[in-house]
Structure 1
Amino acid sequence: MRKRILITGASGFVGSHLISAALDEGLDVYAAVRPSSNIKDFESLPVHWVNLSMADPQKLQAELEQNQYNFIIHCAGSTKAKTQRDYDYVNAELSVNLANAAARAAIPLEKFVFVSSLAALGPIGYHDNNLIEVNHVPRPVTAYGKSKLLAEKQLKEIPNLRLVIVRPTAVYGPREKDIFIIIKTIASGLEPYIGSNPQKLSFIYVKDLVKVLLASLQTTTPIGSSYNVSDGAVYSKYALAEITKNILKKKTFKFHLPIPLVSLLGAFMELIYTFRSDAPALNKEKVAELNAENWSCSISALKQDMNFIPDYPLKKGMEETLLWYKQNNWLT
């Protein structure tokens, strides 16, 4: 009998890639989505689509018991919200509801994998000689990062939860929409940067992240173990653009925007969105995150515990990503 896996946020960027990989692994996939989620591109996949009562722990426990899951990978979360409270509710409170229900439910649960973020730890200084380790003292610079850190702390307090925490750095790949904004701008011939300060950046291709998530299900690790995830390399501020330009054979006009100007624009966008239900792609916190000096992280724990070897350095991952964008008419 195939083992059952519940994937939350299944219609999202990472979740949708995880569905395909889990099916390839022979798992019986249950994909949790909101009633409003657009799944038309994935409806043909042989998965069970489910809606979960994330705000109702008692009902949620019954839903988990109904399908007897062996694994849960919690990908669902909010990357854009208007207040710290909004982030905390989705990324922490609802995550804890699911985890509590899983810990209490009469199900054969072997692993509960929480997809956190390197943002929960925050960046370090440019001249810091050490990489961001899994036990790095957390200093998140955004409300999003703070909400993920809160979730991590609260999840670790749940008794009898077979927890694994995975913290990816910037994730890119087919169907990703945020880094795509940068790629599309470069494809148009413009190459803007926030400030002229040097930066150290890290990336992870979505297929490598998915490989880690599935490997975490089969690896014997101490309960509550955390893993930072990147491709193991450290990139300059200009690396993504240089690789993209070379692949697309594009020339660009490179320019640096003053940080105060972009911060002012972020504040203006927040003001515009005051009476809207959604949140802007750029705000003051996002500017701080994009301008952070050093996001280079260590994956030594990942290599040691899961024998992780990245398949996709940035150049290889971008070649595959840009091809997908072109084939699917995201880029012309």
Structure 2
Amino acid sequence: MSMKILITGAGGFIGGFIVEEALSRGYETWAGVRKTTSREHLSDPAIRFIDFNYGNKKILTDQLLSHKGEYGAWDYIVYNLGVTKCKNPDDFDRINYGFVKNFTEALVETEMVPKQFIMTSSLGAWGVGDEKNFTPIRPTDTPHPNTRYGKSKLKAERHLESLEGFPYVVMRPTGVYGPYERDYYLMMKSIKYGFDFIVGFKPQLITFIYVKDLVQAIFKAIDRGVVRRGYFLSEGKAYTSSQFRRYVATALGKRRVVPVKIPVWLLWVVSVIAEKGAIVLGKTSTLNRDKFRIMKQRNWICDISDAQNELGFSPQYSLERGVNECVKWYRENKWL
């Protein structure tokens, strides 16, 4: 009998790749997606869909009991649901923390706790690192997130830790990129047009993880059976913005790209205006105060030794290889 796995947030960028890997491993794969969510990257007929009401614990509990009665419990749950930008700032807490709280408590109450509950969090939950000596951010450092997103993710992590014996695993990736991701795509699109916008004049070291390496880390955690652990994830190498620009430009065949350095104060002004304008229009803005704090941060280096030692995590994608694969996908799908 196949092992059963549920992937929540399956309609998102990362979720689609998790579903794909689960199917390739022969899992009975359930994708948690809303009825209004695009299923463009969830076309395999073997996928089973489910739509939970995470905001209402009573309804959620009834949904779980109904599923349990008909199909049984899941062996593994990969909780990949969350928001990175919101129209209402309170939604960060409501969704990134509140939904996790409702779901995990409902799992406990319905006796549907899986062997592992793997949640994707973020390096942002630990906040700003050492921007003077550029020492790596370590799991033993005291977290001090400086964004609403990071704070909500840390709050969700603390909730998991508070559940006695709950078999959580937390993945804290740095910047995740890959095919059909949109934030790094906008940067690549800008480079295609000959400009690369850089924030601030102080040195900055940034880190990345290709989406397929993140997915492999998730399934390595399942293979190893670890519980009540958290891991920082990155390629394991830091880059400057000029190196990123060079890889993208080369992949695009772009000979000349003009780097445009934007003063931190100017980006702050633009971010505030963009955020408030989006609120008035009832939309979300890619550029906002949270995004400003992320772009302003100088040190994104993190210590991935725990993942290497405990999971056998070994990233297969250098930034150059990952960028080449991304650009190829964007071109084939007429994004670039």
TM-score, scaled to structure 2: 0.94
Distance 1:218 1:325, change over 3 A: same
Residue 83 of structure 1 deviates from its aligned partner by 4.2
- 1:288 maps to what in 2? 293
Give the Å deviation of 1:195.
1.4
- Corresponding residue of 1:318: 323
Partner of residue 156, structure 2: 151
Provide, for residues 31-55 of structure 1, a one-character-per-residue CA deviation record: whole Å limited to 9, x for no partner. 0001210114423441001101212
CA drift of 1:108 comes to 6.4
Q: Is the 8 A contact 1:119 1:140 kept in 2?
A: yes
Partner of 1:241: 245
Q: Which residue is 2:13 aligned to?
A: 13
Deviation, structure 1 residue 60: 2.2
Distance in 1 (CA, whole Å) between partners of 2:212 and 2:263 is: 35
Contact 1:102–1:161 (Cα < 8 Å) also in 2: no
Q: In the alignment, which residue of structure 2 is the partner of 1:22?
A: 22
Match of 1:93 in 2: 98
> Shift in Å at residue 112 of structure 1?
0.3
List runs of 5+ in structure 1 lacking aligned partners: none
Contact 2:16 2:41 in 1 (8 A): no
Written as runs of structure 1 = structure 2, the 5 A alignment for 1:166-185 is: 166-185=171-190
Question: 190-199 vs 100-109, which deviates more?
Answer: 100-109
State the AA in 1 paired with 2:244. Answer: L
CA contact (8 A) 1:231 1:310 kept: yes
User: Aligned residue pairs: how many?
Assistant: 330
- Indicate the RMSD between aligned Cα atoms, in angstroms: 1.5
Partner Cα separation in structure 2 for residue 35 and residue 321 of structure 1: 28
What is the alpha-carbon distance in structure 1 between the residues aligned to residue 15 and residue 8 of structure 2?
7
Question: Judging changes above 3 Å, is the alpha-carbon distance between structure 1 residues 135 and 62 closer, same or farther for their aligned structure 2 residues?
Answer: farther
Q: Which runs of 4+ in 1 moved over 4 A?
A: none
Equivalent residue number for residue 252 of structure 1: 257
The answer to whether the Cα contact below 8 Å between 1:103 and 1:160 also exists between their aligned partners in 2 is no
Unpaired runs of 5+ in structure 2? none
Of 65-74 and 275-284, deviating more is 275-284
2:230 alignment counterpart: 226
User: Contact 2:174 / 2:208 at 8 angstroms: preserved in 1?
Assistant: yes
Name the % identity. Answer: 30
Partner of 2:133: 128
Q: Secondary structure at the match of 2:46?
A: coil
Partner SS for 2:93: helix
Displacement of 1:110 after TM fit?
0.4
Offset of residue 192 of structure 1: 1.3
Q: Give CA-to-partner distance per residue, 1:133-165, whole Å, 9 cap, x none.
A: 122211212110111011111121123321001
Are 1:60 and 2:60 an aligned pair? yes
Letter in 1 for 2:108: A
Between the aligned partners of 1:47 and 1:295, the Cα distance in structure 2 is: 36
Q: Using the TM superposition, name which of 227-236 and 120-129 deviates more.
A: 120-129
**Residue matched to 2:37:** 37
Supply the distance in 2 between the matched residues of 1:268 and 1:173 (Cα, whole angstroms): 29
Tell me which amino acid in the other structure corresponds to 2:169: V
Deviation per CA, 1:1-46: give whole Å up to 9, x if none.
0011000010100000111011011111000001210114423441
Aligned equivalent of 1:51 = 51
Whole-angstrom CA distance in 2 between matches of 1:212 and 1:63: 30
Is 1:206 paired with 2:206?
no
Q: In structure 2, how many angstroms separate the alpha carbons of the residues matched to 1:291 and 1:129?
A: 15
Between 1:290-299 and 1:42-51, the stretch displaced more is 42-51
1:164-212 Cα shifts (integer Å, max 9, x gaps) = 0110100000010011110100011111111121101110000000001
Query: Are the aligned partners of 2:134 and 2:301 in contact in 1 as well (CA < 8 Å)?
Result: no
